[in-house]
Amino acid sequence: MRSVVVASLGVVTLAGLVAPPAYAVPDRAGGTSAGPAAVREPYPKQPVAEGYGGAVATVDLDASTAALKVLARGGNAMDAAVAGAATLGVTEPFSAGLTGGGFIVYYDARHRKVTTIDGRETAPRAMTSGVFEGLSFDEAVTSGLSAGVPGSVAQWDLALRRYGTIPLKQALRPAIETAEKGFTVDQTFHDQVQQNAARFADFTSTAALYLPGGQPPAVGSVFRNPDLARTYRELGSRGPEWLYGGGLGREIVATVKRPPVRPGATRVVRPGLMELTDLRAYRALERPPTKIAYKGLDVYGMAPPSSGGSTVGEALKILEALPHVGLHEYLEASRLAFADRNAYVGDPAYVDVPLGQLLSDGFAKERACLIGPRAMPHPAAPGTPDGSYGPCPSPSGSPSASAADASAAAVPAAPGEKPEGPETTHLVVTDRWGDVAAYNITIEQTGGNGIVVPGRGVLLNNELTDFTFGPAPGDPNLPAPGKRPRSSMAPTIVLKGGKPFLAVGSPGGATIITTVLQILVNRLDFGMSLPDAIAAPRASQRNTATTQAEQAFIGRYGEQLTALGHTLSLAPGPPVGEIGAATGLEFLGGGRIQAVAEPARRGGGSALVLSPAPGKAG
């Protein structure tokens, strides 16, 4: 996202532009190695890069640079993913941070397996199903009540201990350097502060950091966050327990329970429920991924409490059951998958999620029966993933309408979708050994709950507003003590013949799912290159009356889709008319990697590779 005035060079060549390595790193055999040498900066900001030895794509050049430096010094993909995520907490602080959470999907090349690490925030033990009843979404967001128990630091620690080669203290160094030296404010950073200026101004700690002189930082100015640098440095020295029950945890709990509201502010800011015991009880979890077969490929995603893997996977299985795949079919498959997501997916520790059936061939074929030549009636009812599936009913009138009406009569419609926030961020990284990380990290809404922990330079999350507000009896996503709210984050890795082929993900709240799905359909069904699949105009159907879309999509496809019964409206953003900000990798064969970021959305992203030629990265 950061603005950098540098001519595009196409690739980042590290070989030959060397200095002594900053530190030694463990090698794959367990010894230590200086690794490839550090590199000269600046790097070009570019949406596409191809090369060898390792690659990274994020929304931000500083974060991509941090991750690439870790790779250049001999670190692996997990090391680089954590370093990149921590740096995004500096340069993308309204989307990510150490007080947030996230999901990692990881391909371990040594063991040829895909695994995931769940760093989703949890509800405090004092949380009940009726906590948000009667509150508007805006009232709930800007409060201590919305802050979930942070998961990111525990996730980083678990990820590095199980799959990394460097300690957390080392992984935090690039983020510390960026926070101390500062970075150039671009239009997106300025606009995100401006969008939040009214609520930021109501908290003394937030206003002091993000509204210097009462105004958002100017585009082109250098923004520094010494408090965050100090926090990261202490975290590296003291370890995760400093947050999970120690001094930093006490500061976070104090902020949640007594938000630093500006004297004279008229906003009603409700205190939160978090206690130090909630932090002590938190655990990041390693979970099996979701997995489906699609067009001869294996598609891996994030299992519940994220709905990303299940919903993307179900929609792909529905599409595979159809004789033809076009944009109409993409929208209808997404509509059906969202109906099932809303009805069945929640935290598996609290809800019996029928994941195997949701991703089964039989259920997909039954759901595909509902897709006809016209858009189905709204809302689509959820299916019955019970393992008993029959053939499509005989046509009577409109195939889509008759089958959909029968389904709606059999199963009550799921509750409507709640707002999830347009933000979050995503990165992808791979190393010389073939490990791959796809990583969504978030504090939920743009700017989280709006409250900076005094003296710590970090915003709190508002992740608990991802729960269904209720009353909604039987909803799988109602709040409960210790429960993880349902997420839409969908970091995805695709294997071909057992080896990495694609990795992709995006921010965007519930539109994450449709963005990832559309990119996969663009690449695998429509034959686009990965850069074109990511750059293509987007539409998002989430079992809603209208399909949200970008203006370019409406202009190009609106007339033909409207003729099929679809109703399109401009995506509300912010920014208006923009959906997602994806990053991806494609493995082109012979060790060559293509890293891809957005050419324009969210100010454009950053793709970097370690070397333009084989054998020069290390």
Question: What is the Rg, in whole angstroms, of the alpha carbon atoms belonging to the chain?
Answer: 23
Percent of the chain with pLDDT over 70: 88
Same domain, 278 and 295: no
The answer to whether position 3 is within a domain reads no
Q: Are residues 436 and 569 in the same domain?
A: yes
Q: Does the residue 361 lie in any domain?
A: yes
551 inside domain: yes
In this prediction, residues 360-374 reach a mean pLDDT of 98
For residue 571, the enclosing domain spans: 55-287+421-470+488-585
Tokens matching residue 151 = 């998961």
The enclosing domain of 577 has a CATH number of: 3.60.20.40
Residue with tokens 């429509």: 526
State the catalytic residue, choosing from 142, 188, 424, 514: 424
Q: pLDDT tens, 490-507?
A: 999 999 999 999 999 999
- How far apart CA 22 and CA 38 sit, in angstroms, is 7
* b/e sequence 376-392, b meaning 16+ C-beta within 10 Å: beebbbbbbbeeebeee
Instruction: Say whether both 271 and 294 belong to one domain.
Output: no
Respond yes or no on whether the N-terminal peptide bond of residue 20 is cis (omega within 30° of 0): no
Q: How many domains does the chain have?
A: 2
Query: Which band of pLDDT confidence, cut at 50, 70 and 90, is reported for residue 531?
Result: very high
> What local confidence, expressed as pLDDT, does residue 416 receive?
47
Q: How far apart are CA 127 and CA 130, in angstroms?
A: 8
**Residue 27's pLDDT is what?**
46
Average pLDDT over residues 350-373: 98
Residue 576 half-sphere exposure toward CB, CA atoms < 13 A: 2
Domain boundary among 369, 388, 403: 369
Asked whether the predicted pLDDT for residue 5 surpasses 50, the reply is: no
Query: Among residues 334, 369, 404, which one ends one of the domains?
Result: 369
pLDDT digits (tens, 9 = 90+) for 223-250: 999 999 999 999 999 999 999 999 999 9
State residue 57 phi and psi, 5-degree precision. Answer: -140, 130
Cα–Cα distance for residue pair 209/217, rounded to 1 Å: 10
Residue 616: predicted pLDDT = 61
Kindly state whether residues 156 and 263 are assigned to the same domain.
yes
277 and 206 in a common domain: yes
> Secondary structure of 167-204 in the HEC alphabet?
CHHHHCHHHHHHHHHCEECCHHHHHHHHHCHHHHCCEH
Do 282 and 313 lie in one domain? The reply is no
On whether both 294 and 280 belong to a single domain, the answer is no
Q: Is residue 237 a part of any domain in this protein? A: yes
Q: Is the pTM of this model over 0.95?
A: no
CA distance 196 to 447: 7
Q: Confidence class of residue 75 from pLDDT cuts 50, 70 and 90?
A: very high
Length of the chain: 618
Digit-coded pLDDT (tens) for 7-62: 222 233 232 222 223 333 344 433 333 344 334 457 889 999 999 999 999 999 99
Q: Where are the alpha helices (DSSP H) in 294-415?
A: 308-320, 327-344, 355-358, 361-368, 399-410
CA atoms within 13 A on the CB side of 353: 25
- The residue whose two tokens read 């809303």 is 342
Residue 473 has pLDDT above 80, yes or no: yes
* Whether residue 444 is found in the same domain as residue 340: no
On whether both 153 and 235 belong to a single domain, the answer is yes
Inter-axis angle of helices 327-344 and 511-524, nearest 10: 140
Same-domain status, 317 and 356: yes
For residue 401, what pLDDT is reported? 46
In a domain, residue 65? The reply is yes
CA nearest neighbour of 346 among 415, 252, 412 = 415
Check residue 40 and give its pLDDT: 44
CATH, residue 358:
1.10.246.130
Average pLDDT for the chain = 90
Residue 389 domain-assigned (yes or no):
no
> Is 424 designated active site?
yes
Q: Are residues 296 and 276 in the same domain?
A: no
Residues near 414 by beta carbon (within 8 Å), at least 6 away in sequence: 339, 340, 342, 343, 379, 381, 382, 543
The residue-averaged pLDDT of 288-305 equals 98
Average pLDDT over residues 570-589: 95
Q: How confident is the model at residue 423 (pLDDT cuts 50, 70, 90)?
A: confident
CB atoms within 10 A of CB 44: 17
Interacting residues of 111 by C-beta distance below 8 A, sequence separation 6+: none
**Does residue 225 sit within a domain?**
yes
* Claim to verify: residue 339 and residue 447 sit in the same structural domain: no
- Classify 567 as helix, strand or coil: coil
